[in-house]
Amino acid sequence: MNKNFAIAIHGGAGTILRSQMTAEKEKVYTTALESCLQVGLRILQSGGSSLDAVEATIIELENCPFFNAGKGSVFTNDGKHEMDASIMNGANLDAGAVAMVQRIKNPITLARSVMEKTEHVFLCGEGAEKFARSINAAFVDDKYFFDQLRYDQWQQVKDTGITQLDHVDEKKFGTVGCVAIDMHGNLAAGTSTGGMTNKRYGRVGDTPMIGAGTYANNKTCAVSCTGHGEYFIKAVVAYDVACLMEYKNLSLHDACNIVVNEKLKTIGGEGGLIAIDKNGNIELSFNSDGMYRAHAKSDGVIKVEIYK
């Protein structure tokens, strides 16, 4: 066992400009990111597993109303909150995911339960909720998810047929995610989202799709994505980064750069990802104006950033 570990989180990417951010708002986001990161960091510092660190960190992000996941989830066209999440264990490629779940307090925990308590990887909608009830997962009332800003965003577009990204004015892709490597060298990744404002027809993005929005393999890296999900699905982004490392022997930096700044951009995909490789190297790559992000290593240095 070596004593090195690392963790990184994101809270969404997109048109996040300093000119549109007040000092107060910036402080709110950076403080929230750091406090969420600290949760996972403490687990890793005490010798805990990357899987536990990833889940605990994302629970904290889901419980924070500033991010489009869990409590801060956006409204669908029907005025509901449909959430997606996935988690993956790099040690054995076990994975769990849920999509289109409602009233689940912490979708990331339900995704982990799918991984550990069923023979399946991916459950959705009513079936996922039925499973959640069978294991006594935490449900909350619809009003738990109510946020005035999210409600106002929905009101602006609900009769237009337009599907909005997280923030109407800022064009922000709202997702939260975490990647980590623990002292035992095990990698893990997780991602959670409330999707797009005014989404219809049971739309699901890349977040719960293993290989598209989330991937972890001890041989290579752990990846969590945030962006315009349709493009991340088409480009199988998270797995593509791992593939370039495994089959082309590229470094994490080069693999992320090719996928985010070349392959994704070529097809019109905007957003970014966080990744950690088996040696604890961290990459936070994005082709948008900004990405809410934070990371830390065993040396104790914590970095929190928003803009390019």
Tokens of 276: 């950690």
- Phi first, then psi, for residue 215 (nearest 5°) are -160, 145
The pLDDT of residue 169 is: 46
Distance of CA 156 to the CA centre of its chain: 26
β-bridge pairing 271-277 and 282-286: antiparallel
The pLDDT of residue 167 is: 42
End-to-end CA distance of the chain, in Å? Answer: 35
One digit per residue, the tens of pLDDT, for the chain of length 308 reads 778 999 999 999 887 888 888 899 899 999 999 999 999 999 999 999 999 999 999 999 999 999 999 998 998 888 899 999 999 999 999 999 999 999 999 999 999 999 999 999 999 999 999 999 999 999 999 999 988 888 888 888 887 766 655 444 445 678 999 999 999 999 999 999 998 888 888 999 999 999 999 999 999 999 999 999 999 999 999 999 999 999 999 999 999 999 999 999 999 999 999 999 999 999 999 999 999 999 999 998 999 999 98
DSSP, residue by residue, 7-52: EEEEEEEES--GGG--HHHHHHHHHHHHHHHHHHHHHHHTT--HHH
Which residue from 239, 224, 213, 208 is spatially nearest to 285, judged by alpha carbons?
Answer: 224
DSSP, residue by residue, 133-174: HHTTPPB--GGGG--HHHHHHHHHHTTTTPPB-SBTTTTEE-
The pLDDT of residue 153 is: 81
The pLDDT of residue 163 is: 64
Which residue from 193, 227, 201 is spatially nearest to 77, judged by alpha carbons?
Answer: 201
Q: Which positions are catalytic? A: 175
Q: CA torsion, points 17, 23, 26, 28, in degrees to nearest 10?
A: -160
Q: What pTM, to 2 d.p., does this model score?
A: 0.95
Q: Which residue type is seen at 159?
A: D
Return left, alpha or beta for 126; rule: phi > 0 is left, psi -120 to 50 is alpha, else beta.
Answer: alpha
* Distance from C-alpha of 278 to C-alpha of 256, rounded to nearest angstrom: 14
